[in-house]
Amino acid sequence: MMLDPSATIHPLDQHRDPSSAALVRDLAAEVAARHGGDLSQMRRANGISNATWVGGGIAVRIAHTPVDMAREVALVRALPDAVGHPEILAEGTSEGHGWIVTREMHGQNLYEAWPTLSAAERREAIQQLWTRCQLVHEASRTLAAHVSSHGGFVPATLGDATASAERAAVALGLSSARRSRLHDLLADYFRTAPLVEHVVNHGDLALMNALWDGGVVALLDLEFAVRGPVAIDLCRLVCEACVSEEGERVDSEAADAAVGIAARQLDPSHGRVLLHGAAILDQLRDLDIFLACDSAEERAAHWRPARLLIGLLDPDGGYLAPFVR
């Protein structure tokens, strides 16, 4: 295969190794061609862990790193139709990189559509996003065999979470009070999680992982689906609705909708502890990405989770202020 690292770098690849980005692009081009597509005529869609191109009736998604997508494919094929996930046309692995070809759906990525939506549409989008996600939760008995109890931003053990917390504490120069609160919140999460019902969570319930066509018509990318407390999905829903691109807490109809959903869905005894802990784990995962960056430019691109984590450790709870007593 002839790689061309000098080809124009897409903004989503600007912090990736050019040769690796070129390899993924070339593999995607081969996959698209085998299914009647031309990558040069397809548009690049949003996505961080995978690269996705859409057009000509298909969407090609390929992993940036050599990983298998077989588990995700099995999960998607078991989903209730009402979740709206695009139909899988083919799946496989090329040079270790898993890929999925789905049928192209009419609509716009919700993250891309968000700035153009009215306040009322944003509120409806949050409510509809949660409704689709609930369909996954309600099918947990059928889906559980395809999903692990850890993955995405949920580590397997408290020890793994503590190690991530220590890396963050050192890198951010956290005060002893914040460091202590960080460890207490994680310990509370792992102590409490076994006490509540576990469901299959989407695991990455971001605006970027939904399609909008006058309403939310599909959930996408369940690669980080995980079994656990419903707080795993709720913490992402609240963050998406309540935090601006700059990392500031916002007041809006969408934020009110997300907070209301979380208040109704959380376990009455342990929900607030689990929501706070899950939100901490979410930001720690992004901070680990931050810490893995080599250059100041790359680190600057990942400053947001540092700000959000510090807010979550403050007395008012940052963007979780409505839930922190």
Please enumerate in sequence order all residues whose Cβ is within 8 A of that of 188, keeping only pairs 6 or more positions apart, or say none. 273, 276, 277
Q: b or e along 92-120 (b: 16 or more beta carbons within 10 Å of the residue's beta carbon)?
A: ebbeebbbbbbebbebebbbebbeeeeee
Question: Whole-prediction pTM value?
Answer: 0.92
Which pLDDT tens digit goes with each residue over 5-51? Answer: 445 678 777 778 889 999 999 999 999 999 999 999 999 998 888 99
- For 240, the enclosing helix (H) or strand (E) is helix 231-242
280 phi, psi to nearest 5 deg: -60, -45
Strand partners, 130: none
The low-confidence residues of the chain, meaning pLDDT below 70, are 1-8, 293-302, 325
The packing angle between helices 231-242 and 253-265, to 10°, is 170
pLDDT number for residue 13: 78
State the amino acid at position 41 in one-letter form: Q
Tokens of 22: 């070129």
Alpha carbon distance 110, 129 (integer Å): 10
pLDDT number for residue 5: 42
Which pLDDT tens digit goes with each residue over 52-78? Answer: 999 999 999 999 989 889 999 999 999
pLDDT number for residue 73: 96
Please enumerate in sequence order all residues whose Cβ is within 8 A of that of 96, keeping only pairs 6 or more positions apart, or say none. 66, 67
